[in-house]
Every structure is written in C-alpha cells, then in structure tokens.
Amino acid sequence: MTPPTSNFARFFVVGTLAAALTLTACGSGQPQAGQSASPSVSASATATPTPTPTAAYKPADAKGRAENVPIPVLPEAAKANSKEGVEAFARYWFQVMSYAYETGDMAGWSAMTSAECTFCNRIKQGLESAYIKGRWIVGGKMTTPSVDAIFKSEALTQQVKIQTIQSQIDYYDADGSVGQTATPLSNSASVLIAAFESGSWKVKDLGLIR
Amino acid sequence: MNSRKWRLFAIALALLLVVPAAPAEAASDDRVSSGYQQSGIDVSANYVRDPQSGEFVLAPPGHVSDDPNQYKADLQCQVDDNSLAKRCLPGQMQCPPREAGEKAGTPVIWKVAPKSVSNPVWTDWSTSGNGPSCLYDQKPEDLLPRIAARIESDFRNLPIKPADLTAQPSPHTLKGAETNIFADALEQQFEVTLLGQRVHIVATPVEYTYAYGDGNSLGPTPSAGGPLREAEWGQKTRTSHVYQQTGDFQISVTTTFRGTYSVNGGPNLPIPGTGQFASPPQTVSVWRSITRNYADNCIVNPQGEGCPGVPAK
C-alpha cells in the first residue's frame, strides 16, 4: 500500500519528464540565441496528467488578456521550516506574483503576504490599476535566477536574497489602445522576509537591496 | 427649525449621491507604473546589507545609495565566453573608423546586473534609443578596466568649477552675530577622450567643508547652506558662523564632487573616490558694535557724543 503522495510524486516526475522531452524536441530544431530557459512552473503545470482535455493556454498579447493561465502549485519542499524550505517558498511566491501579473488575480498571492508589507501593497496597487476597467498587461513575467536564504533556525523571521528579473510590461486599455508608456525590463536584487507560521511560510516584508 | 434640518439633510444626501461618480472618473487618470522594481523605488522599500551581521536591514530614511548595479560590455554577437554567433555577425552594428587611418570599432552590448548578487544573470542595459554601441580599441575586452584605472585621476584633474561662496552680511559683519555663509555649486558635465573613447563625465557636488578663517571650520557636511532675505540676516543657519574677534578673515569652502562616467553612450559608471575643489577665499571684516543710551537729542545738548562737530571719543 503506497501513500497517495508517492503516487502524486510519480505522476509529477513522469509529467515533468514528458514536458522536458517535449521541450528538447522542440528546441533541437532551432539553435536558440541566449534566451533564458522557460521556468519550471509552466512546464510542470501544463504537464499535469489529466485525461480530460483542458483549454489551451494563451499568453496575453496586444489583442487581449492571457487565457487558461496555469496556476503555480505549492511544491512539497516549500512546506519545510528549513533553508531549502524558505528558498523553495520564495521561488513559489514570485511564481504566484508572476501569475498575478499575467492574470490580475492576486487572491492566492495576497493570502501568503502580510498586509504590513509596503512594497507588496504598492505592487497590488499597480496591478489593480493595470487590470481595472477592462485593462490588461502583456509581459511583466518574474524570474528568480538566484535564491539564497540566510537561515537561522532560532530566528523569528528568515531573510532570502533573490535576483529578481521582470520582463517589459506593455499596458493596454479595454478598447485595445496603449494605456501608458511601457515599463522596461528590470534586473534587481531583492530581500524577502518570511516567517514560518502554523505550518506554512508567509511573507512579512520585501525590499530592494540598495 | 425641524424643516431646515431636513432640507440640510436632503442637500447632504444629494451631494453624497452626486459625489461618488467623480472618483470613478478621476481614476482613469490615476495610472501608476505596475513594474516590480519601480514599485519598490516608489515606496523606498530599501534594504542595505549590514557588514557586521551579514544580514539585511531597512535602509535609514533619506538613505542615498550608490548605483546598485554593475555593468559590463559584451561583444554584440557573443554567445558565451569563447564563441561568437556567426549568424549574428552580418546584421551587427557597423562601427566604421572615425578618422582616416584609424581601425574600425567593435560593436558591444552593455549588460547590467545587481551588484549584490554573485554570479548574476545579466540583462541588456538600455534606455530609450540605446542599442549596441561601439568601442574603438584593439582589445575592447581590456578597455574598460584600463579606463577604470585612469578615470579617478583624470576626474581629479578636470576643470571643475568650484562653488561660489557668499557671506551675509558682507564684506562687513558683526562680532557676536550669526554670519550666514553658503556655497553654491552646480552639477557639471564634461566630454573627454580617454584611450580613444568618447567619455562623458558628470560631476555632482556632494559635500562641503567651510573654513571660517578664525581657526574654526565646519564639515565636511552635505549642507551647502543657502541665502537669507535681508530681513532675516543675523539668523542662525546650518552653515552660519559667529565670529568672537574683530578683524579681517579669509573664508573659504572646499567642495567634494562625486562623478559618473559613460563610455561611448554606455551606462553611467561610478568613478571611485572623489575630487576636492577649493573656491577662492573671500575676506570678511568683523566689526564690533557698541550701544550707548542718551537722555537728550543734539538740539537739547549740541555737545553730546555723536552730535555734528563733536570729536569722536
């Protein structure tokens, strides 16, 4: 008798492998110029082995919002109160932020985020302004190529140093016109302050390292 | 009485009904940048690394950071350290010789990454209108360190105009009173040629050191001070000084400039160190004032002190 988690894990591994194979298959045809590898979120999420055909993911473009955006799944590793745990959580938190940038849906992200985090509140305000009245954005994808926690087991909060890259953001109004000047790509170092509370990580504060 | 209250209530209600429509309309102009980094900058969510503990702490209010980024120039068609993308080569930027007999330049792409991340992912540095730029040297990869090695001494030797120095009141002031002394320095820009490259330098005044000429000094301080209206002369300011002796004093100010430099239109790189530039000294004469009270005027007592024709004591 195997516990249900191991089944899930096997599925997950198979799915990821399949996705990896597909990716290599696509990639081998054309020598790609220095583009960053596509993040694991979309890969694992599209590869969920569901028998029912799911509606196809369509990224946002100048004609409309993104459709059927896969929701990032909290990895098992991110549930541990450890250095690896908080690092996995930090990656996941930025994936969910990226999802919010793509969809305007901030519910999942807000649930993991303290209301006292000023930077986070400003991000929320920016996203609200980008998605009210039928507006939408293209781009704004967050990637975190480097994630490194200073883990102190006795401390109440943990600090994670993260390289945060966000792709260019283009703004569109409901009628399809350009809403405001595009925000260029940004490449910054951030610190995330997280606390492990009743079995899960929560973001207490966020800052840019200056 | 009662009906008037009702009328007021009705007006208030009408206002309430009308007003809410307005903010919804106004919100259409209420666009903000949604960018991640810009959001953090907007709310000054700045952390700095505490060198003692190695942890990150909230930057103090008003914290002015150096540029948090590092830069490098990659050959335009470089894919990694050793290889060039052949397909890219025909389409790359042309860097023809700028003068007859000179060699052609090398197209480069400036890259940026945060300083505090080791082995970071680099992204293209660009502001509007900046694509690849040209470097003119046989070994462009060695060029930037060589410029960096020279820029500090070159910066110190630039003809930077020092601050203008003003004292209020001047040239005469009073012993025991606040004399307002202030500096006025401007950001200055220079175009120089260094190792065959066009280098744009921006010098910004950051600190001032005042010497009051009586052995007292102030600074270095970020405060340049500023002028007072004549009615305010004698008030204490952040840079004012009280002379305890009469006499002529040479006041002077030395302004510390910090600089950035940009090579052929690349990003602004910080110049290490600072340059000190002294302003020509100025003389203030400190006088004493004596107050005497008199019971009579000169009509009642024409021989009184200070009356016309009476010799001074």
Kindly state the average pLDDT of the residues A24-41: 42
CATH assignment at residue B225: 2.60.40.10
Residue B188 and residue B122 share a domain: no
CATH assignment at residue A202: 3.10.450.50
Residue whose C-alpha is closest to residue B258's, from B181, B204, B301, B184:
B204
Q: How far is CA B171 from the centre of its chain?
A: 29
Question: What pLDDT digit, counting tens, does each position of A163-207 carry?
Answer: 999 999 999 999 999 999 999 999 999 999 999 999 999 999 999
Question: Is B39 in contact with A119 (Cβ distance < 8 A)?
Answer: yes
pLDDT for B97: 79
Residue B238 lies inside a defined structural domain of this protein:
yes
Asked if A165 contacts A189 with a C-beta cutoff of 8 angstroms, the reply is no
Residues of A in contact with B121 (CB under 8 A): 36, 143, 145-146, 163, 165, 187
Residues of A in contact with B37 (CB under 8 A): 164, 166, 186, 188, 208
Residue A114 lies inside a defined structural domain of this protein:
yes
Question: Residue A7 pLDDT > 60, yes or no?
Answer: no
Residues of B in contact with A161 (CB under 8 A): 56, 116-117
Question: Is B54 in contact with A206 (Cβ distance < 8 A)?
Answer: no
Please give the residue that has the higher pLDDT: either A6 or B146: B146
Residue B37 lies inside a defined structural domain of this protein:
no
Q: How far is residue B231's CA from residue B281's CA, in Å, rounded to a whole number?
A: 26
pLDDT for A37: 44
Q: How far is CA B287 from the centre of its chain?
A: 36
Residue B220 and residue B113 share a domain: no
Residue B214 lies inside a defined structural domain of this protein:
yes
pLDDT for A8: 46
Question: Residue A15 pLDDT > 50, yes or no?
Answer: no
Residue A190 lies inside a defined structural domain of this protein:
yes
Residue B169 and residue B115 share a domain: no
Domain count, chain A: 1
Below-70 pLDDT ranges, chain B: 1-29, 79-90, 127-131, 138-141, 313
Burial class of B171 by CB neighbour count within 10 A (0 to 12, 13 to 18, 19+): exposed
Residue B216 lies inside a defined structural domain of this protein:
yes
Which tokens hold the place of A82?
A: 């450890």
pLDDT for B18: 43
pLDDT for A34: 40
Residue B266 lies inside a defined structural domain of this protein:
yes
Give A21→chain B minimum CA distance, Å. Answer: 24
Question: What pLDDT digit, counting tens, does each position of B259-289 carry?
Answer: 998 888 888 888 888 888 999 899 999 998 8
pLDDT for B298: 87
Q: Which of B121, B136, B151 is the last residue of a domain?
A: B136
Enclosing H/E stretch for A163: strand A158-166
Residue A123 lies inside a defined structural domain of this protein:
yes
pLDDT for A170: 95
Residue B42 lies inside a defined structural domain of this protein:
no
Q: How far is residue A25's CA from residue A177's CA, in Å, rounded to a whole number?
A: 38
Chain B: residue whose CA lies nearest to A167: B35
The contacts of residue A65 (CB under 8 Å, 6+ apart) are: A103, A104, A136
pLDDT for B108: 81
Which tokens hold the place of B26?
A: 């106004």
| Least confident window among A95-109, A147-161, B22-36, B39-53 | B22-36
pLDDT for B110: 82
Question: Is B35 in contact with A163 (Cβ distance < 8 A)?
Answer: no
Residues of B in contact with A101 (CB under 8 A): 34
Residue B131 and residue B86 share a domain: yes
Give A88→chain B minimum CA distance, Å. Answer: 18
Question: What pLDDT digit, counting tens, does each position of B107-139 carry?
Answer: 888 888 999 998 999 988 875 455 677 877 766
pLDDT for A51: 53
* Domain residue limits at B198: 164-287
Question: Is B45 in contact with A209 (Cβ distance < 8 A)?
Answer: no
- Where residue A137 falls among pLDDT bands split at 50, 70, 90? very high
Residue A25 lies inside a defined structural domain of this protein:
no
Residue B175 and residue B277 share a domain: yes
Residue A46 lies inside a defined structural domain of this protein:
no
* Domain residue limits at A93: 77-208
Among candidates A142, A146, A179 on the partner chain, residue whose Cβ is nearest the Cβ of B31: A179
pLDDT for A13: 44
Q: What angle do CA A200, A201, A207 make, to 5 degrees?
A: 170
Enclosing H/E stretch for A201: strand A200-209
pLDDT for B35: 95
Examine the predicted complex and report whether its ipTM is higher than 0.90.
no
Q: What angle do CA A115, A116, A121 make, to 5 degrees?
A: 65
Residue B174 and residue B276 share a domain: yes
Strand partners, B114: B69
pLDDT for B45: 92
Mean pLDDT over the full length of chain A: 83
Residue A3 lies inside a defined structural domain of this protein:
no
Question: Is B68 in contact with A101 (Cβ distance < 8 A)?
Answer: no
Q: Which of B116, B136, B156 is the last residue of a domain?
A: B136
Residue A156 lies inside a defined structural domain of this protein:
yes
In order of A92, A112, A194, B49, B102, the CA distances from A72 in angstroms are 7, 13, 19, 31, 56
Give A137→chain B minimum CA distance, Å. Answer: 9
Kindly state the average pLDDT of the residues A14-29: 42
Kindly state the average pLDDT of the residues A6-18: 45
Question: Is B34 in contact with A36 (Cβ distance < 8 A)?
Answer: no
Question: Is A133 in contact with B28 (Cβ distance < 8 A)?
Answer: yes
Residues of B in contact with A179 (CB under 8 A): 31
Residue B226 and residue B269 share a domain: yes
Burial class of B297 by CB neighbour count within 10 A (0 to 12, 13 to 18, 19+): exposed
Domain count, chain B: 2
Residues of B in contact with A142 (CB under 8 A): 36
Residue A151 lies inside a defined structural domain of this protein:
yes
Residue B180 and residue B235 share a domain: yes
Residue B144 lies inside a defined structural domain of this protein:
no
Residue B263 and residue B175 share a domain: yes
Residue B156 lies inside a defined structural domain of this protein:
no
